[in-house]
Structure 1
Amino acid sequence: MSLRLALRELRGGLTGFRIFVACLALGVAAIAGIGSVARGLNDGLSREGRAILGGDASFSLVHREASPDELLFLKGQGTVSTVATLRSMVRAESGEAALAELKAVDDVYPLAGSLVTNPPRPLAELLGERNGFYGAVVDSAMLGRLNIEPGARIRLGSIDIEIRAELSTEPDALSDGIGLGPRVFVSRDALAASGLITPGSLVRWNYRVAVPEDVDPDGVVERANEQFPQAGWRARTRDNASERLTRNIALFSQFLTLVGLTALLVGGVGVANSVSAYVERKRETIAVLKCMGAPGRQVFGIYLAQILLISVLGITIGLLIGAALPFVVDWAFAAFVPLPFEPGLEVGQLGIAAAFGLLVAMLFAVWPLGRAHELPVSALFRDHVAEGGSRWPKPLYIVLTGTILVALLVLTVAASFDRRVAIAFLVAAAGTLALLRVVAFGLAALARRAPRPRTATARLALANIHRPGALTPSVVLSLGLGIALLVTVTLIDSSIRHQLASSLPERAPSFFFIDIPNTDAPAFTAFLRDQAPKGEITEVPMLRGRITQLKGQSTENYPAGEAEWVLRGDRGLTFSDTLPEGSQITAGTWWDAGHTGDNLVSFETDLGRELGLQVGDTMVVNVLGREITARIANFRTVDWENLGINFVMVFSPNSFAGAPYQTLATLTLADGAETAERALLREAAAQFPNIISVRVKDALATIADLAGKLVLGIRAASGITILASVLVLAGALAAGHRYRLYDAMILKTLGGTRRQILTAFTLEYLLIGAASGLVGLLAGALSAWVVVTRLMKMEFHADPLATGLVTLLAVVVTVALGLAGTWRLARLKPARVLRDL
């Protein structure tokens, strides 16, 4: 009977449920689509792991090549391809110079994947020697920077090479990380002839190994580390081809999941508003059913069946959108995002999204339907003008609501990529909802106790804020959440751009010069002084090394927390008899000049604290294949933001006695020296082709471009939640349509003009919107501050103009949506409307 009555009543269409369906579909689509995209990224990484790595296993060394014994061992495991990567300057015949990410490969490259060039020719033909010139394959960006075409010749070190093709696809680009310059492919013979490799040069040698199908790559890595424990290489397999990329995808997936959960949470508020409005419209029907003898449980069952049927419709729409989203992403963005992506129909993610949608719909529907179960017929009629009965449903419905809530929380934590983040999100969401509820209650209480204004319109506006059935709770909740999200994204964007575009260039050097051979250091310094007499030059020695042990424990499983990046890969090292300029000792003492005895090291304070280090602890670094043990003598502060020459670790000079090293230098010019900088770049490349010149403004532009794409991604993902907020706000205002209609007709009957009615409603929306905007502004600013300072470790930059405009826009939208539904009411004739109330 309940189901038949529910289906019969639904014959009239979905009037009043459009917002319900839209909110539910949007939330489910966000969960399903985001989960499917994240799964597609992970599957793509797994599928393309071999191509990304360039083989089944990879062994990476810095500064030195593998020894004959090490190379012989690797060749005994399978086919070996040797790849050398380094940064170098290239110069066109016109004199224009640019920084290149150089990649020297052998005849068997690539072991996995395909290198695609334009025109498509065998790599040996493109890179081999012909007519006295070696060949090169270059990225199109390099052609643009040097204003040249394929067929031109460029200077690399001490030789000229011929550009024979343009690079289209590089199979193992992701494993090499983000570069500061365009890619240039050459042969290993060309690299050897260029003279770029000198003792201490910052060259990374990668040995990719393709093993037989029946050989486990992890076993190869284990045997290699056992046989050569002092090798100091970084070993990876196809299952962890790019650890950083895997971690970043996991973080991105977590962020997207939180966006989806937020959209579903906000959509849930829309569901609650829709159900409450629907129950409000069905008062007479419910009263008639009860007068005819229908028990409250049957009334509950009828309308719960309707809600579930409509929920299935919304969930189905959301699932269809979510299922299609991975294929749309692959079709629309595959050419722009160089990530391995495997779109597919993720049944598990779709099931999770459906479960989320159903639980949210039930959670926000049981309570208002439970109240309708308990209310007597007289209260159902009387509630048009006064509150009747208890605001709480029967204990059965309270328990049912609690059970659904617990199930939703468990599902949220279980389906999350990081359960700690999920729990933190739930706590933050509960706190935000509670805060907005308190604000709504406080605003209503304040309006109730405020002095009575003299004008009737102002009195009516205040009364509407605290009267029974007021819009205040729903509007404050939906609008507050939307403004908080908008302000958070705006301030994160503002802080990133201010950090990159404003503060750094004012204090940063103009150039970094890398790989300066010791023999060329005096001549190069003289060159800089001649080119820039008023420039400020700083020089320090530099080596590369990897931390292998801390306090006697291997760094492979060391609990590093947020300082994990220090232990992953190679770090720049230096040595000095004096404390670096701008640093301050926070613990311990600096060593004496000419120190002999134990190797000593100075460590950065914050990172040392994160790693649990103390003065007197020991650490081991692998430099040029040698394990060097040093004792921590002190901790010091480092100003990273000035982009000067700073190091996590500074050693006593005796630690590297006799070791070959290069010199790192910076040059700081006066502001506005754009022409002089480019001229110096050309001259440095011409006279010192082996020295790498990095123009800081170009590097910052590259980083700013990446940051801009990140912010754009955040905006796009957050747009889902913002759209949900707008829908919920519209639903909240539509939910009060019946009360607005009743108020408008009574006021017109009593002589109120259309202008007075619209003015009263406008004042009401402005007051509620202003209060919601203030709370959302504060909550968003606090959230952005936490993200920027705690997670991004950056300086927080407030942008009052942008946040003010965002808040003002949200309030204007609230007033506009409210008046859009009220304008028509003010034009209706009271007699015809009051007959139907």
Structure 2
Amino acid sequence: MSNLLWLLRMAWRDSRRSRARLLLFMASIVLGIAALVGINSFGDNLARSVREQARELLGADLVLSANKPFAPSLKPVLSRLGVARTREVSFASMAEFRPGKGVRLVQVRARDGGFFYGEWLTEPRAAAQRFTEPGAAPGALVDDVLLSQFGAKVGDSVQVGRVTLPIIGRVLKTPGQTGIATAVAPTVFIPARLVRQTGLLQRGSRVQYRRSFRFAPGTDVAAVIKPLQARLDKADIDVDTVASRQQQVGRAFADLTRYLSLVAFVALLLGCVGVASAVNLYVREKLAAVAILRCLGASGRQALMIYLLQTSGLGLVGAVLGAALGAAVQTMLPRVLGDFLPVAITVSVSWPAVLTGLATGLLMAVLFALLPLLSIRRVSPLRVLRVAFEDDTTAPDPLRGVVLMIIGLFILAFAYQQTHDWKLTLGFGAGLLVAFVALAGMGRLLMVLVRRFFPVGWGYVWRQGLANLYRPQNLTLTLITSIGLGTFLLATLFLTQALLLGRVQIAGRGSQPNLVLFDIQREQRAGVENLLRAQRLPVLQRVPIVTMRLLAINGRSSSALKKDTAGIPPWVLSREYRVTYRDSLNSSEKLTTGQAPTLGADGIPLISIETAYLKRAKLKIGDTLDFNVQGAPLRAIVGGSREIDRSRVQPSFLVLFPAGVLEEAPQFVVLLTRTPNTAVLAAVQQVLVRDFPNVSAIDLGLILQTVEDILDKISFVVRFMAGFSILTGLLVLSSSVVISRYQRVRESVLLRTLGASRRQILRITLVEYGLLGLLASLAGIGLAVLAAWALAVYVFEASFGPAVLPLLGLAGLVTALTASIGLFNSRDVLRRSPLEVLRAEG
């Protein structure tokens, strides 16, 4: 006990002269733990809110949905389900706001009642009740975003197909609908009894039919629906319960929380690098003090414990401060991410996240400080007499390998705890190992090359600056590793963001289409094309579309495949496929395997599947697929795969059939054209609403504006969360260079004593730090390009072409920052007398 008290007193006394330097060490922990606690607390609060509000997300206890009307044979069964029922028919259509306010594609939801759970908020508040009253005059409820866009108000009217209704209220909130969903697909609610009068439900129209049910409290809905599951599956009716909706939302936002967790993990790892580099330089400065302790009788183990207690105490303080900051930050995340979330998050302190942060911060401080502190055990008392004696700390240490192994296990365990995915964990760990080894190897190689090929004929300033790269007490390895890693993170974030933004660029200029007309029935095609010709608009492309569902793969039915959890993903079997047919690939497609669509010798069509979807669906060339083409069976064989350039303005399809198979199947046509200005666009839309009310027109200019708004919000979220990592990376970079001041000050003072001018010392410092910053930044950018290429190819499945000029600008910025901080470190040497500086440092 007395020994422990002595160690604590020594650790406290020794820290009094070094607390300002150790604050940088603590700051790395604070930011890393703040990101970790903030994001994990947000994830816990999100999961809890989803559990509590799952019924409000669904708006009912049970929802049945299908893409065709429910069979009359199911009516007796469905009429006995629950204690209350509502119906909804939803479809996309053009809506015209009158008088003369404009036309836009909307999502029409025809309902015969309200929602059983959740808040359907309208203005005026009585509008929702009036809408659902059986005897009330019919009216429409319109999303607030639509009314704002067209300057319409309650009391105006909206035309949907052949029906014109007064607008009786604006919809401010709908159960389960997010702000982003409202911006992309704004909704117009109309009474269900009027849906037939619109004239929009025609053969081939894409319509969603829903039945919602409310059960008595305490009812086991899953048990009630289980006996009907086989009949519902046979009728292609999807079942959605409160439990399944909770799982769906949890899975959807698991990706979000997983991404945010990785952001926190990167910030934490950068903090670990900051800890290791700060303690490494701190230990070098303390070697003389340790030698004195050894002369006074302290053992190597006691000396190690003194400084380990110092760093552990600071690590605990940093973890506490970081946890407090993280708890404060997580209150901001629901505001930042509010438009993306279907639930209202109630913010509270997540104690598991706080405790995890505290434990992680302490472990992080101990493990990453222990690595450089190990050398203290072997400091010889001889250092008191021989300052340059280094053999005691440079000899191999068997415990170093053990500590490195523990650190590696700590990183992998923490990565798995954050991602719950071993493949992602191992890939992330391997990437970090490659980055560290590459940066450390570059540092070692630089020292060897400078020493081996030293330019003896260069000027004094250059020789002195280059010699500093390999002399005793050199900073080359530490600074290149820490600065390179910070640059690697910044460059990777930049390249990934550019990649994602590039994927959604739509070429709406020149002769590219800017107007898409779809849901055109076979008998309407000639009339719509005549309409375009009358407006002097070209028909740039005609695309027939047939809808179908997948019944079996290689003879195994979809119901049997759904039970095989290790086989085909369930979404492959449950989705509706919209396909087209032609004998050749278009300009946006490239054959990757097999052949283009064609008819086989036996008459079975050989189809082409998009390459990425082929992999995700776990299909392969030669597989046999049985489809249900709106009641008619059709067998096809996977004959090839193709890549699709989705930045081109033309319809793309996961499945492509050859000609000669689907021509007689029920289908609709998509036409692509280009309008020269908004006046012509408005005229086309007006005629379409009047003569072809079921035909919908997508204005790509409007879609681009919506996409741009969404991307702005997504970019803000990415930048906001990446800010933790960027701040930590910059802190690591700055702290590493600032702390290096204590390694160079004595040499600079000695040079001044020997007659070196202030300008010479300034230039020597500039050469050393400028080279370190330039080489570290270039190495980090090189690694970032490789990482971004891997993300583009293996994750985003997109072409990759880095922007060179911004990357060179980043290299220049990091180099300038490193050199500036290095020069800032020399201010005392340049302004004060050598003796005064030595006394201050001593």
Asked whether the 8 Å contact 1:604–1:636 carries over to 2, the reply is yes
| DSSP 3-state at the match of 1:199 | coil
Match of 1:46 among 34, 42, 51: 51
When structure 1 is superposed on structure 2, of 418-427 and 12-21 the one drifting more is: 12-21
Distance 1:224 1:233 in 2: 11
**2:604 corresponds to 1:630:** no
> What is the CA-CA distance between 1:317 and the residue it aligns to?
0.7
**Residue 454 of structure 1: how far off its partner (Å):** 3.1
For residue 109 of structure 2, the aligned residue among 103, 110, 114 is: 103
1:471: which partner in 2? 475
Q: What's the offset of the Cα at 1:320?
A: 1.4
The answer as to 2:27 corresponding to 1:22 is: yes
TM-score by length of 2: 0.90
* 1:157 CA drift (Å): 0.7
Q: Per the alignment, do residues 789 and 65 of structure 1 end up closer, same or farther by CA in structure 2, a change over 3 Å counting?
A: same
Indicate if the aligned counterparts of 2:513 and 2:540 stay in contact, CA closer than 8 A.
no
- Counterpart amino acid of residue 635 in structure 2: A
1:547 is the counterpart of 2:553:
no
CA contact (8 A) 2:258 2:418 kept: no
**Counterpart code for 1:792:** F
Q: Which residue of 2 aligns with 1:155?
A: 159
Residue aligning to 1:369: 373
Deviation at 1:717, TM superposition (A): 1.8
Check 1:773–1:599 CA distance in 2 against 1; reply closer, same or farther (3 A cut). closer
Q: Does 1:784 align with 2:791?
A: no
Distance 1:301 1:401, change over 3 A: farther
Taking a change above 3 Å as real, the CA distance of residues 668 and 639 of structure 1, as seen in their structure-2 partners, is farther
1:645 corresponds, among 648, 651, 654, to 651
The reply on whether 1:701 has 2:708 as its aligned counterpart is: no
Deviations along 1:46-69, one digit per CA (max 9) or x if unpaired, are 22222212223322211x121233
- Residues 1:354 and 1:598: Cα distance change in structure 2 (over 3 Å): same
CA distance in 1 between partners of 2:743 and 2:508 (Å): 56
Would the alpha carbon gap of residues 287 and 640 (structure 1) be closer, same or farther in structure 2, given more than 3 Å must change? closer
CA change 1:506–1:44 in 2 (3 A) is farther
CA distance 1:564–1:461, change in 2 (3 Å): farther
One-letter amino acid of the structure 1 residue matched with residue 319 of structure 2: I
The aligned counterpart of 1:432 is 435
Letter paired with 1:662: F
Q: Is 2:670 aligned against 1:664?
A: yes
Alignment CA distance shift 1:482-1:58 (3 Å): same
* Cα distance between partner residues in 2 of 1:731 and 1:376: 29
Structure 1 residues 361 and 326 mapped into 2: Cα distance closer, same or farther (>3 Å)? Answer: same
Contact between 1:74 and 1:209, CA under 8 Å: does it hold in 2? Answer: no
- How far apart are residue 392 of structure 1 and its match? 4.5
Q: 1:405 to 1:325 in 2, by over 3 A?
A: same
Matched-pair contact (CA < 8 Å) for 2:178–2:339: no
1:556 — aligned with what? 562
Cross-structure match for 1:140:
144
> Partners in 2 of 1:75 and 1:34 — Cα distance?
46
Find the counterpart in structure 2 of residue 288 from structure 1: 292
- 2:306 and 2:485 mapped to 1: Cα distance? 32
**Cα distance change of structure 1 residues 628 and 54 upon mapping to structure 2, 3 Å threshold:** farther
Counterpart of 1:687, as a letter, is D
Answer yes or no: is the 8 Å Cα contact 1:476–1:768 preserved in 2.
yes
> 3-state SS of the aligned residue for 2:693?
coil
Q: How does 1:784-803 map to 2 (within 5 A)?
A: 784-803=788-807
* Shift in Å, 1:516: 1.6
Name the structure 2 match of 1:676.
680
Distance (Å, rounded) in 2 between the aligned partners of 1:584 and 1:499 = 17
Is 1:6 aligned to 2:11, yes or no? yes
State the shift of 1:540 in Å: 3.5
User: 2:48 corresponds to which letter in structure 1?
Assistant: D
SS at match of 2:234: coil
SS in 2 for 1:134: coil
The amino acid that maps onto 1:620 is D
Quickly say closer, same or farther: Cα 1:541–1:225, change in 2 above 3 A. farther
Aligned to 1:587: 594
Gaps of 5+ in 1: none
* Partners of 1:546 and 1:623 within 8 A in 2: yes
Q: Secondary structure at the match of 2:633?
A: strand
How far is 1:95 from its partner? Answer: 5.6
Q: Which moved more, 1:499-508 or 1:674-683?
A: 499-508
For 2:3, the equivalent position in structure 1 comes to: none
Asked if the contact 2:508/2:514 (under 8 Å) is kept, the reply is no
In structure 2, runs of 5+ residues without a counterpart are 1-5
8 Å contact from structure 1 (residues 367, 398) kept in 2: no
1:61 to 63, 66, 70: 66
Selected match of 1:195 from 194, 199, 220: 199
Verify the 8 A CA contact 1:232 1:622 in the aligned structure 2: no
| Corresponding residue of 1:725 | 729
Structure 2 residue 81 is matched with structure 1 residue 74: no
CA displacement 1:243-301 (0-9 Å, x = unmatched): 76544422222222222121111111211222223333433432222111111111111
TM-superposed CA distance for 1:89, in Å, is 0.7
Please give the residue correspondences for 1:768-783 in structure 2 after superposition, counting only pairs within 5 Å.
768-783=772-787
Deviates more, 1:579-588 or 1:253-262: 579-588
Q: 2:175 aligns with which of 164, 171, 182?
A: 171
Q: Structure 1 CA distance, aligned partners of 2:467 and 2:252?
A: 52
Match of 2:394 among 391, 394, 402: 391
Which deviates more, 207-216 or 395-404? Answer: 395-404
Q: For residue 736 of structure 1, what is the aligned residue in structure 2?
A: 740
Give the aligned CA root-mean-square deviation in angstroms. 3.2
Q: Any conservation in 1 of the 2:87–2:211 contact (CA below 8 Å)?
A: yes
| Percent of pairs with identical residues | 25
Do the aligned partners of residues 18 and 511 (structure 1) sit closer, same or farther apart at CA in structure 2, a change above 3 Å counting? Answer: same
Matched residue, 2:421 = 418
How far apart in 1 are the matches of 2:597 and 2:368?
64
Tell me the alpha carbon deviations over residues 513-555 of structure 1, each in whole angstroms, 9 at most, x when there is no partner. Answer: 122233322211211122234x134333323333343221525
Q: Decide which moves more: 141-150 or 313-322.
A: 141-150
- What is the one-letter code of the residue matched to 1:94? G
Deviation at 1:738, TM superposition (A): 2.0
Structure 2 residue matching 1:344: 3-state secondary structure: coil
- 1:611-651 C-alpha deviation (Å, 9 max, x unpaired): 45456533233454x47341216335364422323322345
Residue identity matched to 1:431: V
The correspondence of residues 195-594 of structure 1 with structure 2, limited to 5 A, is 195-241=199-245, 245-330=249-334, 334=338, 338-379=342-383, 382-383=386-387, 385=388, 387-392=390-395, 394-396=397-399, 398-400=401-403, 402-449=405-452, 450-501=454-505, 503=507, 508-533=512-537, 535-551=538-554, 552-554=556-558, 556=562, 566-567=572-573, 569-575=575-581, 578-579=583-584, 581-582=586-587, 587=594
CA contact (8 A) 2:489 2:729 kept: no
CA 1:761–1:208 in structure 2 vs 1: closer, same or farther (change >3 Å)?
A: same
Q: CA–CA distance in 1 between the matches of 2:301 and 2:171?
A: 70
What is the deviation of 1:229? 3.7
**In structure 2, the residue corresponding to 1:747 is in which secondary structure?**
helix
Q: How many residues align?
A: 827
Which amino acid counterpart does residue 102 of structure 1 have in structure 2? V
Q: Distance in 1 between matches of 2:413 and 2:649?
A: 46
TM-score between the two structures when normalised by the length of structure 1: 0.91
> In the aligned structure 2, how far is the partner of 1:249 from the partner of 1:406?
28
**Offset at 1:491?**
1.8
- The 3-state SS of whatever aligns with 1:789 is helix
Report the Cα offset of residue 170 of structure 1: 1.0
Instruction: Quote how far apart the aligned CAs of 1:438 are.
Output: 0.5
Deviations 1:14-48 (A, max 9, x none): 22111111101111111221112122222222222
